[in-house]
Amino acid sequence: MRGMNDGFLNTADEGTLSANDYDGFAAAYSAENDDSLANAYYERPAMLALAGEVSGRKVLDAGCGAGAMSAALHDRGAVVTGIDASAGMLDHARQRLGDEVDLRQADLNDPLPFKDSSFDDVIASLVLHYLEDWAPALSEMRRVLRPGGRLFASVDHPIVAYNIQEQRPNYFETTSYGFEWEFGGRRIPMRFWRRSLQQMLDEFASAGFRLTSITEPQPLTEARDLHPEDFLRVTTSPCFLFFALEAVQG
């Protein structure tokens, strides 16, 4: 899974597709993700900048989707393993990556198919907001990281739900919200879970992570000419929060 936030201002009408059914729109999503403002010029470069030097490091791309992030990490010299719940998305990732990246189908709600301390880094790029309960996923990410390993996570900013919901929820409660993405001539129903910043920080700490930074980055400046209509929106109202965390010893 990999979130994309361009053009999602409609209230969700789930119609013939169930919410978050990536298998049902994997091809259209993969094509859009490669060049969209939100992914190609905003979230993905910000995440790669946050991760910094990854050459030679064993990296788990948790929720790899169609493999764009895994490809970028591999190009930077990382030894990448990608997991995703969607078989359809993994098919596109395999077409992109071939045998260069170990790709496996796995759900973040379930135990991960890796031994303890298998990775130096975990990238959780726009995936945690799909989960009502973060505890199992974060516990597994901590388990498969070596002590002192790094977790880099991006999520939809809490303000996003307030921008698209007519009745704004209690900020301090964990609540779900539905909306639609529109691309490839299709309206795609989605459902995410919104939680407060304090809830996020508490979840990370409870799972054994120490926060090293939290950022609200801006998109790349070249996106101004490529996506002029949406550029102003995403540079004046944040879409994402980014966290860098360290797996606590012991």
CATH number at residue 29: 3.40.50.150
Residues 6+ apart with CB under 8 A from 142: 151, 207, 208, 209, 247
The structure's pTM equals 0.90
| 155 within domain boundaries | yes
pLDDT at res. 14: 36
pLDDT at res. 151: 98
Choose the weakest-confidence range: 22-36, 44-58, 60-74, 107-121: 22-36
Residue 221 tokens read as: 């400046």
Tally the C-alpha atoms within 13 A of residue 93's C-alpha that lie toward its C-beta: 33
| 16 within domain boundaries | no
Q: What is the number of structural domains in the chain?
A: 1
Helices (H) and strands (E) in the chain, counts: 10, 9
| 232 within domain boundaries | yes
Collapse the DSSP code of 213 into the 3-class scheme (helix H, G, I; strand E, B; otherwise coil) and give the result: strand
Residues 6+ apart with CB under 8 A from 104: 81, 82, 83, 90, 113
| pLDDT of residue 166 exceeding 80 | no
Residues 6+ apart with CB under 8 A from 113: 104, 106
| 164 within domain boundaries | yes
| High-pLDDT (> 70) share of the chain, % | 90
- CA–CA dist 58, 122 (Å, integer): 9
| 53 within domain boundaries | yes
| 43 within domain boundaries | yes
| 230 within domain boundaries | yes
Collapse the DSSP code of 116 into the 3-class scheme (helix H, G, I; strand E, B; otherwise coil) and give the result: coil
Its domain, for residue 177, covers 22-247
pLDDT at res. 2: 53
* pLDDT-derived band at 28, boundaries 50, 70, 90: confident
| 8 within domain boundaries | no
The set of long-range contacts for 75-78, using a CB threshold of 8 Å and a minimum separation of 24, is: 76/48, 78/54, 78/121
